[in-house]
A and B are shown apart, each in its own frame.
Chain A
């Protein structure tokens, strides 16, 4: 089973990298980009075959290591 994890900054947390990317897009002529938020995407290959158990495991991984929940949200997708 594969887990896809998106880690994104919470709203209200300043994202200087996203701002720089938005600025770069603007200078390349891509107008109309009002905001960019940069995050992380992780793919995990899991031995677990039960979806509920897998989700629980990945949630624990996110809470402990993959995301810093002070500033980041995470979303888990199982495929």
Chain B
């Protein structure tokens, strides 16, 4: 798996993502500065990492979505290439309209940094092939703008098309309002594009890949990608 991690001014999880990718695929990903206009030849997977690109000014991800590299990322996605956006990366994907919906201020108005439980909603994708259907996993979130929103028509459509990847749930897998850290519509924590080759998610699987940090549930996502894109 040849992965490229895009670094924006204000990204701060690029090393975490790179380590998780390297651990899963035994291949070191390449860092690509946002001002570049091309991805390295043969890139299988592009990752937009978490952080605070451009200081989260105007709207989270709004300016990063217009970075020079994003034209190449869009072209990569359009030809079926894989793209993963985590946290701020998800916000950038949403602003770039590569995944449906937007991320708004958390309903609590607070920055939330804690472990959450996720229910895996789709296991027939390159990102999630290693999970069991309906599996409940534990990974951390760290964001103030993760409140997923779109209109009911779009919500119904993406649910019908299998574009919901993860939902916030409690430890037993019950999808309840109380289990959501941010007030997301229908507890959505991660969504795919229509082709399911682009995934945006607020939680940080890259920060739950070693027992020493409390668990390895997040590694399943990177192992799935490494297997699918071997």
Residues of A within 8 A of B (CB): 12-14, 16-17, 20, 64-66, 68, 70-71
Which B residues lie within 8 Å of A20 (CB)? Answer: 109
Distance between A39 CB and nearest chain B CB, rounded to angstroms? 12
Smallest beta-carbon distance B183→chain A, Å: 7
Return 30 A-B CB contacts under 8 Å, by A number.
A12-B151, A13-B104, A13-B149, A14-B104, A14-B107, A14-B149, A14-B183, A16-B104, A16-B105, A16-B106, A16-B107, A16-B108, A16-B109, A16-B147, A17-B109, A20-B109, A64-B66, A65-B58, A65-B62, A65-B63, A65-B66, A66-B58, A68-B59, A68-B62, A68-B95, A68-B102, A70-B150, A71-B102, A71-B104, A71-B149
How many residue pairs link A and B with beta carbons under 8 A? The number is 34
Question: Which B residues lie at the A interface, using CB under 8 A?
Answer: 58-59, 62-63, 66, 95, 101-102, 104-109, 147, 149-151, 183
Minimum CB–CB distance from B58 to chain A (whole Å) comes to 7
Q: Interface SS of chain B: helix, strand, loop or mixed?
A: loop
Residues in A neighbouring B147, C-beta threshold 8 A? 16
What is the chain A residue whose CB lies nearest that of B65? A65
Compute how far the CA of A16 lies from the CA of B183 in the bound complex, rounded to whole angstroms. 10
| Bound: A12/B152 CA distance, A | 11
Known contacts being A68-B95, A70-B150, A71-B149, is A17 close to B62, with CB within 8 Å?
Answer: no
In the complex, chain A residues whose CB is within 8 Å of the CB of B101 = 70
Q: Give every chain A residue within 8 A of B109 (Cβ-Cβ).
A: 16-17, 20
B residues in contact with A66, CB < 8 Å = 58
Bound-state Cα–Cα, A16 to B109, Å: 7
| 8 closest residue pairs by CB, A with B | A16-B107, A70-B102, A71-B102, A16-B105, A20-B109, A16-B109, A68-B59, A17-B105
Looking at the assembled complex, report how far the CB atom of A27 sits from the nearest CB atom of chain B, in whole angstroms: 15
Complex: A64 Cα to B150 Cα, angstroms: 19
A70-B102 Cα distance, complex, nearest whole Å:
8
The residues of B that contact A65 with a CB separation of less than 8 Å are: 58, 62-63, 66
